[in-house]
Amino acid sequence: MVASPFEGKGHIGRRLAVMLLGLFILSFGIAMSKKAGLGTAPISCIPATLTDCVGMTSLGMWTILFNVLLVAIEIALLGRKFPPIQLLQLPLALYLGLMTDASMWILDALGMSPDGYAEQWIFAIIGFAVLAFGVMTEIRANLLVVPGDGLVMVLTAKVNKMPFHRMKMINDMAMTVIACVISLAIVGTLTGAREGTIFAAIAIGTLLGIYRKLFGKAIDKLIGEASEFA
């Protein structure tokens, strides 16, 4: 894990704006996939499952609580080696949760809710495409990462010779399995993790590559930085 997120050569204000925009786009994609009802992306399937099975609060609030837990796991794994600057993941998690609830409110206000299985898939695919663009934008800012990706970075550092993308795949699989277990144990059926989750796990990585090629250099030019993700 990088000790400081502010070591890039780009314009800090622009990088921050791009990161926050990316997180809002990401949250809107999460909200769309939740509305589709076919399972959200692995990064949000546990909060989505808890929202459906436990209730008590909103998807955004469960997202915040879950991301706080992920940061706590990072701290437990790294101990004194955990960079204090990475505690900034916590306000990032707060922002992501609030924007997720705001996105759900926007979709409700617009009356956007799929009717029928075919429409659910259309809604889910669009949501995953939006989510992937948000992830690409957030990462491209090269400033901070959400706790879900931060944990993968920590795990990658802990396991010798394990590349990030492979650890990301293992982490996504683990989150999906945990979400399924929670759902089956509480309500006896699958909710937050379903067929859409499997589709998302495959499609989002592909979309990230496409978006990176189409828009990566333009974002780099905007923030004034040659990204390591070129």
Q: Helices 195-223 & 42-53, crossing angle to 10 degrees?
A: 130
Cα 190 to the center of its chain, rounded Å: 20
Residue 127 predicted with pLDDT over 90: yes
* Single-letter amino acid, residue 220: D
Spell out the residues 6+ positions from residue 181 whose beta carbon is closer than 8 angstroms to its own. Answer: none
Confidence of residue 230 (pLDDT cuts 50, 70, 90): very low
Sign of CA dihedral 91, 68, 206, 25: negative
Is residue 134 situated within a structural domain?
yes
Is residue 228 situated within a structural domain?
no
Is residue 230 situated within a structural domain?
no
Number of domains in the chain: 1
Residue 25 predicted with pLDDT over 80: yes
Is residue 187 situated within a structural domain?
yes
Name the DSSP class of 113: -
Is residue 229 situated within a structural domain?
no
pLDDT in tens, 32-73: 999 999 999 998 999 999 999 987 889 999 999 999 999 999
Is residue 4 situated within a structural domain?
no
pLDDT at 149: 84
Is residue 1 situated within a structural domain?
no
C-alpha–C-alpha distance, residues 55 and 47, integer Å: 10
pLDDT in tens, 97-125: 999 999 999 999 998 888 899 999 999 99
C-alpha–C-alpha distance, residues 165 and 177, integer Å: 18
C-alpha–C-alpha distance, residues 214 and 210, integer Å: 6
Average of per-residue pLDDT across 149-166:
82
Confidence of residue 9 (pLDDT cuts 50, 70, 90): low
pLDDT in tens, 184-228: 999 888 888 899 999 998 888 889 889 988 998 898 888 876 544
Residue 4 predicted with pLDDT over 80: no
Is residue 201 situated within a structural domain?
yes
Query: Can you read off the two tokens belonging to residue 143?
Result: 């400033």
Report H helices in 79-187. 89-109, 117-140, 147-158, 164-186
- Picking from 57-71, 150-164, 166-180, 205-219, which range would have the lowest pLDDT averaged per residue? 150-164
Q: Which domain holds residue 137?
A: 12-223
Query: Can you read off the two tokens belonging to residue 170?
Result: 């293992």
Q: pTM for the whole thing?
A: 0.86
